[in-house]
Structures are given as structure tokens and as C-alpha cells.
Amino acid sequence: MLTQTARPVPGPAFDPRPTRVRGSRPHAAELDVVRPVASVLVILTHAMQMFAATGSIFYGAITLESQASRHVFFFVSALVLTWQAYQRPRWSPWRFWGRRGLIIVVPYALWVLIYWAVGLAGLHGDTIPGHAGSLLANVKSAGMQLITGPGHLYFVFVLMQFYLVFPLLLALLQRAQRWHWAILGASLAVQLVVTFALHYGHWTWSPWYDLGSTRQLSSYVFYLVAGAVIGAHLPAVRAWIWRHRWLVLIAAVAIILAVEAWYGLTVHSGQSATGTADPFSPEAIASYTGTFALLWMIGAFWANWSRGRPGRRASRSDGRLSRLVRTTSDNSYGVYLSHIVFLDILATLGLSRLNAHLPWPVTVLIAVLVAWTAASLLTVTLARTPLSRWLTGRARRPGRGGPPPVGWGTDLGSEARAGTEPGLAPAPDPGHPVQPSSTFPQQHHRSSENSQSTPGPDTGDISGPGATLTR
């Protein structure tokens, strides 16, 4: 047996309390910050499009970063899927498609019909189709909405495409374990080619009329593959990022500022603000990568603070703030699906008229606060009804009480005990000697229950409802 001799490097603590064991791997606490922040960025993007002065240089500077939200969600979705499925011998694509299909397709279809129905009721705005003609024509319009992904629901439409090919990507990662860097590099090359074609050539291969590049899986190859590769090595990546946290943080901020500086110079040279802030411009790849790293670091600092010192853990991870953060994370998919309803209500009521009396950033801020608060309250309410899974993508919550406290199955507890948690050197294992030269986990440990709001998956399908990820 190899004896531990190296002194551990200080890093995020792990919770030593006993946890229940399920088939799913534990939850990465950093995502409890990444998801809600990305949700707010989504709302900000749509509020800017509906209530801001679109020709302003400040409009483009803000949307250049806020539009990273869609790429963040694709990255997180692929990361969580792969983290739950990678090298799991009983993982089944048929179970995956059946379970994930129900969780994502049914809410998508219902919300398409909801937006279609509120349009009939007189609401107008984003995602709501126009209604004219006979009942048959309106029904045909609803059918077209279902197969094209109207408005912001394009994200779910693309995610369904990714679910179809995910088993192939997972098989590639598992059979080419020595070539993950090459796969990541190839995906970046594809993303560069696609973005050059989309931004400069206005290219689209869509077989559907006016479907647009935003609804095509090919427009997000790098972000999905990057999430999958990191998900395959999540404990080691988390450990590396935490050891180099200040370098990662400085680099992320520097990249974002550099891209913003490029944007300002480009606009001052005569280019339009909206065109320069195109989310499919090649320069945006660097900006979005910096945004990923920045949000992850914020989440890592939060996770470390919320766990705190062993003697003070109960006052932090079990407190109201931790529960609030966890609740906003669990609500993020429901907020994404429903927030446009409230922005459309504000648009129908004439919120944009405030721009005649107030600076447009104030109007946008009001819209963001109202839409986020209302969508969050709606999601929390729906989560405690039988409609929860079908309208929010999560299992029904009890009538009282919030999410499980952070720390009970929310930090990679088993990985920490195995030495892969940030700041911890490998711990000895009597039955399996540790190889000092290895930087990756060399065995699968039983892991704590995923404390997402949905129940744990059945044996053989660790990608089941226990991993809420579609944001």
C-alpha cells in the first residue's frame, strides 16, 4: 500500500459527512452559480433586443457578452451529460433517449403551444407568432413552430439535435481516450470555419426555410465538444483550475477586455454595432471561452466559501443563502422557458415608452428584474404542482422546504476522498495502490447522491432525471 507523504495544497474543502449512495455521480457545485448567471444573461439579451436602442455602441458592447449565455448553456449541458455517462458500463443510449427525451421534448412542445395560445389571446412580442386567417391556418402555424423552434426556444431545438448524436460523441471519447486533445482541437477548427462562413459569408445549410444558423447544431460544435471533453475529466480539470485559479481568473478577464477593445475599435472604424457583436463572429469564440472561465471561477469561489471550514460549515452550506443559490440554479431551465412571457407582457403594456423619459439602460434593467423575478416565482410555483416535470423539466418538489443543502452530495465528495478534489493530494486506498505519476482518477468510487431536485436514475441509466442540465 502506498503511504501518503505529500502535504496537501490548500483548496476547497469537502464535506466529510456521510451521504447516501446512488448510481449517479455527484453534482458540481460550481454550476449552481453558472446556471443562474447565464439565465440572467439570456434575459438581458432579450430585454436589450426588445427595449434598447439597437444602434448604440453600448448596445453591442453589452450584447457581445450577454449572448455568451447560449454557448454557456450548451457547454454546461454537454459537460453534465458526459460527466454522468463517461465510462459507465451500464449506460444505455435507449434509456438516455427515452428519459431525456421526455424531460426536454414535452416541456418544449407545451411551451411552444403556450406561446402560440397567448398570441391568440392578444399578447405580442418575441417567440409569439402572428395569427391571421382561418383556424386551420393557425393550427398549421403552430405545427411549423413545433418543428422549427420559435424565438428563444431554438436552444431546446438545438439541444434535441445534440441528444440525438450524443451517444456517438460519448462512444468516440471512450474509444479514443488518448486523443481527447486532438478531438477538442478538431472541434475548434470546425467552429472557426463555421463562424467565418456564417459571419463573413452568411452561409447556412439549413434544409428548412429561414430556419437560421442559430437553430443548427453545427453552429455550436466547439462548445459542445469542449463541454464533453471537460466532463470526461471533470475532477482533474476542477483540481487544475483551482490550483491555477488566479492565473485563470486574470486570463479570463484579460480575454474579455481584449475582445471588447477589439469591438470598440471596429465600431469606431465604421462597422455597425450590431454586426460587430454578431455571436457567430470568429472573435466571439475567445470572448465566450473567457466568459466560461470567469463564470466557472466565480462558481468555484462560491463553492469554496459555502463549504467553509469544517467547524463552520453548518452556518454556510446549510444557510438560507446557499439554499437560495441552489434554488435559482434548479429554476434556471424553467426561467429560460417562461421569461419571454413576462417580457412580452411588458412589451404589450408599452414599457418601451419609458425610453422617452428615462435612459434605455434603466428600462432594460426594469425589464430584466421583472422578467427574472416573475419567471422564478412561476417556476417555483410550478415545481410544487403535478405539472412540474412537464413545464419546468424537473421533478415535483414538496410543498414546503427548499433544495438539499449544499454539501450533502453537491461537492464531488468521493473524488475529494480519492484525491481529485482541488487542493487534495491522492489519498491511499488499501485495495488499489495509487500510482504517483497519474493525474486522473484510476478507479470508480461510489459517489454521493446527486442532490438535484429530480430523483436519482435507475440502474443502468445514470443520465436520468437526477442530472438536471438543460438550461
pLDDT of residue 335: 93
31 touches 329 (CB < 8 A): yes
Range 45-48, long-range pairs (CB < 8 A, 24+ positions): 45/69, 46/126, 46/152, 46/339, 46/340, 46/343, 47/343, 47/364, 47/367, 47/368, 47/371, 48/364
pLDDT of residue 366: 95
Pick from 164, 99, 161, 219: which is nearest to 468 by CA? 99
Residue 176 has pLDDT above 60, yes or no: yes
pLDDT of residue 280: 87
Reported as a pLDDT band with limits 50, 70 and 90, residue 230 is very high
Taking only the tens place, the pLDDT of each residue in 49-60 is: 889 877 788 888
pLDDT of residue 309: 53
As a three-state string, the secondary structure of the chain is CCCCCCCCCCCCCCCCCCCCECCCCCCCCCHHHHHHHHHHHHHHHHHHHHHCCCCCHHHHHHHHHHCHHHHHHHHHHHHHHHHHHCCCCCCCHHHHHHHHHHHHHHHHHHHHHHHHHHHHCCCCCCCCCCCCCCHHHHHHHHHHHHHHCCHHHHHHHHHHHHHHHHHHHHHHHHHCHHHHHHHHHHHHHHHHHHHHHHHHCCCCCCCCCCCCHHHCHHHHHHHHHHHHHHHHCHHHHHHHHHHCHHHHHHHHHHHHHHHHHHHHHHHHCCCCHHHHCCCCCHHHHHHHHHHHHHHHHHHHHHHHHHHCCHHHHHHHHCCHHHHHHHHHHHHHHHHHHHHHHHHHHHHHHCHHHHHHCCCHHHHHHHHHHHHHHHHHHHHHHHCCCCCHHHHHCCCCCCCCCCCCCCCCCCCCHHHHHCCCCCCCCCCCCCCCCCCCCCCCCCCCCCCECCCCCCCCCCCCCCCCCCCCCCC
Reported as a pLDDT band with limits 50, 70 and 90, residue 312 is low
The pLDDT of 20-37, averaged and rounded, is: 73
Reported as a pLDDT band with limits 50, 70 and 90, residue 191 is very high
pLDDT of residue 401: 55
**In this predicted structure, which of 167-171, 204-208, 373-377 has the lowest mean pLDDT?**
204-208
Reported as a pLDDT band with limits 50, 70 and 90, residue 446 is very low
Q: What is the overall mean pLDDT for the chain?
A: 76
Residue 252 has pLDDT above 50, yes or no: yes
The pLDDT of 333-347, averaged and rounded, is: 92
Residue 416 has pLDDT above 90, yes or no: no
Reported as a pLDDT band with limits 50, 70 and 90, residue 464 is very low
Reported as a pLDDT band with limits 50, 70 and 90, residue 3 is very low
Please indicate whether residue 48 or residue 424 has the higher confidence score (pLDDT): 48
- Provide φ and ψ at 104, rounded to 5°: -105, -40
CA distance 141 to 313: 54
Residue 432 has pLDDT above 60, yes or no: no
pLDDT of residue 93: 87
Residue 426 has pLDDT above 50, yes or no: no
Longest dimension (CA), the chain: 78
Taking the alpha carbons at both ends of the chain, their separation in whole angstroms is 44
Question: Grid coordinates representing 356?
Answer: 422617452
Taking only the tens place, the pLDDT of each residue in 70-99 is: 999 999 999 999 998 888 878 888 888 888
Please indicate whether residue 31 or residue 28 has the higher confidence score (pLDDT): 31
Residue 298 has pLDDT above 90, yes or no: yes
Residue 67 has pLDDT above 70, yes or no: yes
Taking only the tens place, the pLDDT of each residue in 96-110 is: 888 887 788 889 889
Residue 454 has pLDDT above 80, yes or no: no
Reported as a pLDDT band with limits 50, 70 and 90, residue 323 is confident
Taking only the tens place, the pLDDT of each residue in 277-288 is: 888 888 899 999
The pLDDT of 156-179, averaged and rounded, is: 93
CA distances (Å), 166 to each of 44, 83, 219, 403, 435, in order? 30, 12, 16, 29, 32
Reported as a pLDDT band with limits 50, 70 and 90, residue 129 is low
pLDDT of residue 145: 74
Residue 404 has pLDDT above 50, yes or no: no
- Provide φ and ψ at 21, rounded to 5°: -110, 130
**In this predicted structure, which of 126-140, 262-276, 291-305, 344-358 has the lowest mean pLDDT?**
126-140
461 touches 52 (CB < 8 A): no
Please indicate whether residue 27 or residue 102 has the higher confidence score (pLDDT): 102
The pLDDT of 25-48, averaged and rounded, is: 88
CA distance 237 to 30: 13
